Amino acid sequence: MAAQSVRNGNAPGYFDLMLGDDHDLEFGFVVGEEEVLQRLKMRLWRELGEWFLDVDAGLPWYQDGNGMLGAKPFERNNIELMIRRCIMQTEGISRITSMSGIFAIGSRSLDLYIQVLLDTGNMGSVNVTVGA
């Protein structure tokens, strides 16, 4: 889903950062369901302790050289629970309808596909790659 910015005079009255098509931050407006999905992506990408204003925000992807991306196969259930908790704590999301992921052990990366039910009653989906 491409970033949708409001540039035709219907701006919500504020100017903020949004995720561009290349996943870089750019100036613009994003509202509604797209805002919720972008918020979800940002929460999943954030490393635990990365944001100085809230060092408890984020997931421990790389913590101490190990983290979730260096986890053993028997730890995958715990990782899935942490990801699900992060998703459900995202404002605007009612329920996870499906989630699948592929660990690339050699590159220590995780490709996630997540489909959620939004508070608006509509479905939304995101693809997130963490690591390498």
47 lies in some domain? yes
- Cβ–Cβ under 8 Å, residues 69 and 131: yes
Give the count of domains, the chain.
1
For residue 14, the model assigns a pLDDT of: 52
Q: Residue 89 belongs to a domain with what CATH number?
A: 3.10.450.40
The answer to whether residue 35 sits within a structural domain is yes
Q: Is 123 part of a structural domain of the chain?
A: yes
Domain that holds residue 53: 31-131
**What pLDDT does 50 receive?**
84
Residues 16 and 114: their CA atoms lie apart, in Å, by: 25
Question: Going residue by residue through the chain (132 aa), what tens digit of pLDDT does each one get?
Answer: 444 444 444 455 455 666 776 667 677 777 889 889 988 988 998 888 888 888 888 899 887 767 888 878 778 888 899 999 999 999 999 999 999 998 887 778 899 999 999 999 999 999 999 886
Specify if 70 maps to a domain. yes
